Amino acid sequence: MVGWVDRANSKRAHTLAQIPHEWIDPNVINEMKERGYVNTREYLDSVLPQNEVRITALTATELIERIRTRKLTSFEVCYAFCHRAALVHQILNCCMEIFFDDALNKARELDNHLVTTGKVLGPLHGLPFSLKDQVNLPGIDTTIGYISRVGHKAVKRSLLAKVLENAGAVFFVKTTVPTAMLASETVSSLHGRTLNALNLNFSSGGSSGGEGSLIGARGSPLGVGTDIGGSIRIPAAFQGLYGLRPSHGRIPYMDVTNSYEGQELIPSVIGPMGSSIQDLELFAKLVIDSESWNYDPQLVALPWREVPHVKKDKLRFGLMVSDKLVMPHPPVLRALMETCEALRRCGHEIVEWNFPHNKRMIDVGEQVYAADFYDEVQEILETTGEPISEYMKIARENISYKGHSGRALGVSQWWEISREIRSLKEQFLEYWEKTRDLTSDGKPIDAIICPAWPSAGFRDGDVEFGCENYTVPFNVLDYSCVVLPVTQVDSAKDIPDASHSPFSTEDKKIHEYYKPEMFSGMPVCVQVVCKRLEEEKALAIAAVIEGCLANVEKL
């Protein structure tokens, strides 16, 4: 039997071998460093052919429009993204599966289709599209980060992949995940470490870190990630991207491989990551309007609903500056303040949001994730002997510290957790409804604005300075969340706050992690949170926020 190290190395070599040899450059990362770059996006803009740089700078919406109107061919577009993705992967280690040939053939077919019929296949006609490893394409491995699953080629196609293909998407890569998708960095014994697109010293985030890294470096215009504790929002935030965590039941997860299948108290959801709100809307609308609920019983038969009033009415926001457990770093606080100031200037109203049970929400999330003490993960790892990740060791320690017996729960304990979640959902709704008492017109808030993450990421390897406090609660609640970039760390503006009295040792550790020079230039996102199944509203509000921020810049 081949050892797990050899199997992993062999898989990595195999992935690399899928790149055409003229695009292989074993020295690329050294050249980049020698030229003083840490930002892969900027570096590639400086070395790739100008026409490819122009193409890969466009949003998905712009690309589709140019393909539809035949200003660009799908082939040109796919070629540019394949070329760029090949280099991004060699720098950041973000792809698990590469199939450029299939993509370029498909692109040619779509170009022919458009020329011949004069019609596009669908709203994504000719767009290169990346997929997180979990999404199944027949004949291609789905490993979810386990060495033992190398060579497990998928048989079925995920329903979402069918929907996207029917809309004209062109798949060209599947991207890396941490083992079992259970980490906020993207590290596995199988693929190694996935780095941040904007700073080689930083983590890509996780678990959809491969997507975040690839899209962040413009190696893909649009892709899908999954999110059970922040896995779409964290890499989106770390790379200055846009990400939608939809509610469960909105975007089809059918035949997408997952860890802990059948765990439905805090369901993993699947959603888009991209470079503009319009791109996320494009994705969400077309997927929802595919009426996939006729096939996937987990979906709610709820068509896409336009929300024109959101774009013209006065809106009310609840601002959660901190959860009183972990104080966000100064750049994140500034991002929140600038966002609220911009909204106020446009006539919107901001009230305070101080839900008192944040800790219970985070604790119950941990209890769900660790319900079997990660036995499922350990059992799969043991089949090859690959070691359990540091992240999971920490998770086990944390949950033991909080009273977990170290053995899988019984069904009655599971139901107890379920009751706790229901109670928290009820209290959260009640608190939301009570914001009527705070707003000037007696209406409850439309959305919460809060951090997506307390810092502008963390350095690769520093996952212990991470903290899912601002993502997990909305998985527990199953609310609609959009992450959007608002600013970058500015070491001149974002001075450490020496006056902060830490809430706890964890808070102290994270607080002291902030160094202006280290974070300088990293993107800072904020999070918009609407209620369950309000994806249309969350996206529309994110667009409103962008508009208000743009207005302020013009002043």
Helix (H, G, I), strand (E, B) or coil at 141: strand
Q: Tell me, rounded to whole angstroms, the distance of Cα 545 from its chain centroid.
A: 20
Q: Which one among 428, 465, 513, 514 touches a copy of itself, defined by CB under 8 A?
A: 428
- Give residues 357-386 in contact with a copy of itself (rule: CB under 8 A): 371-372, 375-376
Query: From the CB of 433, what's the least distance to a copy of itself, in Å?
Result: 6
Per CB under 8 A, 418 contacts a copy of itself: yes
Does 229 carry a binding-site annotation? yes
- Give residues 161-180 in contact with a copy of itself (rule: CB under 8 A): none
**What is the Cα–Cα distance from 195 to 136, expressed in whole angstroms?**
24
Does 501 carry a binding-site annotation? no
**What is the Cα–Cα distance from 124 to 120, expressed in whole angstroms?**
8
Q: Which stretch binds a copy of itself (CB under 8 A): 69-77, 93-101, 330-338, 414-422?
A: 414-422
Does 231 carry a binding-site annotation? yes
Nearer to a copy of itself, 425 or 500 (CB): 425
Nearer to a copy of itself, 296 or 313 (CB): 296
Query: From the CB of 260, what's the least distance to a copy of itself, in Å?
Result: 7
- What is the phi/psi pair of residue 318, to 5°? -95, 120
- Which one-letter amino acid corresponds to residue 258? N
Query: From the CB of 428, what's the least distance to a copy of itself, in Å?
Result: 7
Per CB under 8 A, 5 contacts a copy of itself: no
Binding letters toward a copy of itself, positions 122-161, x by CB under 8 A: ----------------------------------------
**What is the Cα–Cα distance from 487 to 523, expressed in whole angstroms?**
6
Does 522 carry a binding-site annotation? no
Which residues belong to the active site?
A: 132, 207, 231
Per CB under 8 A, 302 contacts a copy of itself: yes
Helix (H, G, I), strand (E, B) or coil at 473: helix
Q: Which one among 410, 437, 492, 505 touches a copy of itself, defined by CB under 8 A?
A: 410
Q: What angle do CA 178, 179, 183 make, to 5 degrees?
A: 50
Per CB under 8 A, 355 contacts a copy of itself: no
Per CB under 8 A, 262 contacts a copy of itself: yes
Q: Which stretch binds a copy of itself (CB under 8 A): 194-202, 203-211, 295-303, 494-502?
A: 295-303
Q: What angle do CA 487, 186, 503 make, to 5 degrees?
A: 60
Q: What angle do CA 457, 190, 39 make, to 5 degrees?
A: 35
Q: Tell me, rounded to whole angstroms, the distance of Cα 463 from its chain centroid.
A: 17
Nearer to a copy of itself, 31 or 375 (CB): 375
Q: Which one among 2, 300, 337, 495 touches a copy of itself, defined by CB under 8 A?
A: 300
523-530 and 480-488 beta bridge pairing: antiparallel
Tokens encoding 403: 């009273």
Query: From the CB of 418, what's the least distance to a copy of itself, in Å?
Result: 4
Q: For CA atoms 122, 124, 126, 128, give the dihedral sign.
A: negative
Evaluate whether 189 touches 4 at the Cβ level (below 8 Å): yes
Per CB under 8 A, 264 contacts a copy of itself: yes
Q: Which helix (H) or strand (E) holds 67?
A: helix 60-68
Helix (H, G, I), strand (E, B) or coil at 351: strand
**What is the Cα–Cα distance from 273 to 135, expressed in whole angstroms?**
14
Helix (H, G, I), strand (E, B) or coil at 49: coil
Query: From the CB of 321, what's the least distance to a copy of itself, in Å?
Result: 25
447-451 and 316-319 beta bridge pairing: parallel
Q: Which one among 294, 440, 499, 501 touches a copy of itself, defined by CB under 8 A?
A: 294
Q: Which one among 31, 65, 101, 261 touches a copy of itself, defined by CB under 8 A?
A: 261
Binding letters toward a copy of itself, positions 73-92, x by CB under 8 A: --------------------
Query: From the CB of 320, what's the least distance to a copy of itself, in Å?
Result: 19
Tokens encoding 546: 């962008």
Per CB under 8 A, 306 contacts a copy of itself: no
Evaluate whether 265 touches 423 at the Cβ level (below 8 Å): no
Say how many residues touch a copy of itself, by CB under 8 A. Answer: 44
Per CB under 8 A, 273 contacts a copy of itself: no
Q: Which stretch binds a copy of itself (CB under 8 A): 1-9, 204-212, 423-431, 544-552?
A: 423-431
- What is the phi/psi pair of residue 172, to 5°? -135, -20
**What is the Cα–Cα distance from 109 to 366, expressed in whole angstroms?**
47
Binding letters toward a copy of itself, positions 226-255, x by CB under 8 A: ----------------------------x-
Tokens encoding 80: 């540019």
Radius of gyration over every alpha carbon of the chain, rounded to an integer in angstroms: 22
Per CB under 8 A, 304 contacts a copy of itself: no
DSSP for 265-307, written as a single string: SS--EEEEEES-HHHHHHHHHHHHTTTGGGT-TTS--------
Query: Residue 19's closest CA among 140, 138, 78, 101?
Result: 101
Per CB under 8 A, 425 contacts a copy of itself: yes
Per CB under 8 A, 289 contacts a copy of itself: no
Q: Which one among 477, 510, 543, 545 touches a copy of itself, defined by CB under 8 A?
A: 477
Nearer to a copy of itself, 297 or 308 (CB): 297
Per CB under 8 A, 395 contacts a copy of itself: no
What secondary structure letter does DSSP report for 260?
S
The gap between the terminal CA atoms of the chain, to the nearest Å, is 67
Nearer to a copy of itself, 217 or 530 (CB): 530
Per CB under 8 A, 416 contacts a copy of itself: yes
Q: Which one among 10, 105, 148, 263 touches a copy of itself, defined by CB under 8 A?
A: 263
Query: From the CB of 424, what's the least distance to a copy of itself, in Å?
Result: 9
Evaluate whether 163 touches 272 at the Cβ level (below 8 Å): no
Q: Tell me, rounded to whole angstroms, the distance of Cα 191 from its chain centroid.
A: 19
Binding residues for substrate: 181, 207, 228-231
Binding site for a copy of itself (CB under 8 A): 254, 260-265, 294-298, 300-302, 371-372, 375-376, 408-419, 422, 425-426, 428-430, 433, 444, 477, 531-534
